[in-house]
């Protein structure tokens, strides 16, 4: 079972001629409403590949219309929402600007996500075949507690260190590494995390190696068009290329990678092959707008058909 503990948001997306800098305003002709939140995104990505009934979401939404829509969307994608709690705070909302090249800038109002609690995950839901997926959009202490619960049940922890907190401390990184089996980061997050524990690196491959050794784990670094690499605790490095595409919208590509990787991990697929599927899934997502709308189903992944 894949268990995702994390954020659920509604995304308001505007196509802009240029992403505005500080003090600048740009006009967009309209906006679109999409479903998001890194936790929900990863749950949907995993469910579309793993299949209905294989993914369970834990987190919190508000007692509002956005919350209802977020839950309905997860149901429609085959995600079990029995562990999602309704909170008094409003459902999280993200404001996303996307430029003509497909790059994006995102502001997130966390709302109910900040009330998420590890106690929402009953110990009875955790077992040796549990793959717990975590991110950084709910309180860190609660994610850490959820990881510890999963490790105590002999489950596997996949932690996507995104977004990197502005005030990330060395203690936070050290605690995270200690309970993680697979650390998933992009090239910037890899270097930030390594620097956070005093292990500066000239490139993301070196940073990934530092993190893998420090945590006795496997660190997977995604690098956009350059694909992904994994460094194991013993220093072994595996690389997977990314399919060549012309992106329409990169929003949610990283989450698609994480969800697809977790799906393959839960099926016992070897590391390099699982990374290959994740790269294919992320590339497919970039061809369509919206964080979740473009996430592929299993039959759209060439290596799985």
Q: Is 113 annotated as a binding residue?
A: no
| Per-residue model confidence (pLDDT) at position 257 | 98
Nearest of 223, 222, 200, 221 to residue 210 by alpha carbon: 200
Look at residue 299 and tell me if it is in a domain: no
Our answer to whether residue 72 is catalytic in this structure is no
Q: How far apart are CA 301 and CA 305, in angstroms?
A: 7
Q: Is 186 annotated as a binding residue?
A: yes
Look at residue 90 and tell me if it is in a domain: no
| Per-residue model confidence (pLDDT) at position 104 | 82
Look at residue 8 and tell me if it is in a domain: no
Nearest of 108, 106, 40, 110 to residue 77 by alpha carbon: 40
Please say if the pLDDT value at position 108 is more than 90.
no
Q: Is 37 annotated as a binding residue?
A: yes
User: What is the extent of the structural domain holding 182?
Assistant: 39-83+118-294
Tell me what the mean pLDDT of segment 253-265 comes to. 97
| Per-residue model confidence (pLDDT) at position 186 | 96
Arithmetic mean of pLDDT over the chain: 95
**pLDDT tens digit sequence for 91-102:** 999 888 989 988
**pLDDT tens digit sequence for 36-56:** 899 999 999 999 999 999 999
Look at residue 112 and tell me if it is in a domain: no
- The count of domains in the chain is 1
**170 phi/psi in degrees, rounded to 5:** -60, -35
Look at residue 195 and tell me if it is in a domain: yes
Contact assessment for residue 74 and residue 57, using Cβ atoms and an 8 Å cutoff: yes
Count of Cβ atoms closer than 10 Å to residue 46 Cβ? 35
Please say if the pLDDT value at position 201 is more than 90.
no
Contact assessment for residue 289 and residue 249, using Cβ atoms and an 8 Å cutoff: yes
Please say if the pLDDT value at position 278 is more than 80.
yes
Please say if the pLDDT value at position 298 is more than 80.
yes
**pLDDT tens digit sequence for 132-158:** 999 999 999 999 999 999 999 999 999
Q: How confident is the model at residue 293 (pLDDT cuts 50, 70, 90)?
A: confident
Tell me what the mean pLDDT of segment 219-248 comes to. 94
* pLDDT above 90 as % of the chain: 85
| Per-residue model confidence (pLDDT) at position 274 | 98
Q: Is 51 annotated as a binding residue?
A: no
Q: Is 38 annotated as a binding residue?
A: yes
Buried b (16+ CB within 10 A) or exposed e, 64-76: bebbeebbebbee
Look at residue 12 and tell me if it is in a domain: no
Please say if the pLDDT value at position 290 is more than 80.
no
State the sign of the Cα–Cα–Cα–Cα dihedral 44, 28, 162, 112: negative
Tokens 């502005």 belong to which residue? 166
Q: Is 224 annotated as a binding residue?
A: yes
Look at residue 301 and tell me if it is in a domain: no
Q: By CB neighbour count within 10 A (0-12 exposed, 13-18 middle, 19+ buried), where does 266 fall? A: buried
Q: Give me the catalytic one of 99, 192, 203, 255.
A: 255
Q: Is 40 annotated as a binding residue?
A: yes
User: What CATH number is associated with residue 124?
Assistant: 3.40.1190.20
Look at residue 283 and tell me if it is in a domain: yes
């Amino acid at each position: 079972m894949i268990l995702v503990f994390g954020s659920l948001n509604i995304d308001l997306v505007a196509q802009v001629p240029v992403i505005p800098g500080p003090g600048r305003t740009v006009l967009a002709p309209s906006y679109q409403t999409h479903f998001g939140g890194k936790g929900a995104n990863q749950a949907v990505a995993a469910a579309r590949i793993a299949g209905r009934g294989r993914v369970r979401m834990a987190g919190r939404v508000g007692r509002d219309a956005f919350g209802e829509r977020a839950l309905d969307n997860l149901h429609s994608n085959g995600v079990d929402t029995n562990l999602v709690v309704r909170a008094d705070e409003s459902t999280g909302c993200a404001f996303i600007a996307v430029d003509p090249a497909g790059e994006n800038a995102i502001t997130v109002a966390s709302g109910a996500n900040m009330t998420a609690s590890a106690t929402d995950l009953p110990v009875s839901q955790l077992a040796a075949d549990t793959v717990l997926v975590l991110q950084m959009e709910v309180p860190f202490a609660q994610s850490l507690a959820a990881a510890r619960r999963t490790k105590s049940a002999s489950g596997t922890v996949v932690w996507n260190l995104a977004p990197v907190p502005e005030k990330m401390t060395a203690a936070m990184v050290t605690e995270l590494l200690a309970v993680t089996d697979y650390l998933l980061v992009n090239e910037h997050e890899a270097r930030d995390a390594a620097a956070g524990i005093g292990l500066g690196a000239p490139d993301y491959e070196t940073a990934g190696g530092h993190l893998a050794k420090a945590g006795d784990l496997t660190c997977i670094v995604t690098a956009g068009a350059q694909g992904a690499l994994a460094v194991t605790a013993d220093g072994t490095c595996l690389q997977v290329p990314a399919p060549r595409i012309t992106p329409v919208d990169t929003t949610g590509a990283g989450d698609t990678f994480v969800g697809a990787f977790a799906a393959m991990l839960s099926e016992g697929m070897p590391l390099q092959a699982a990374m290959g599927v994740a790269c294919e899934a992320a590339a497919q997502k970039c061809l369509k707008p919206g964080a979740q709308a473009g996430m592929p189903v299993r039959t759209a992944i060439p290596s799985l058909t």
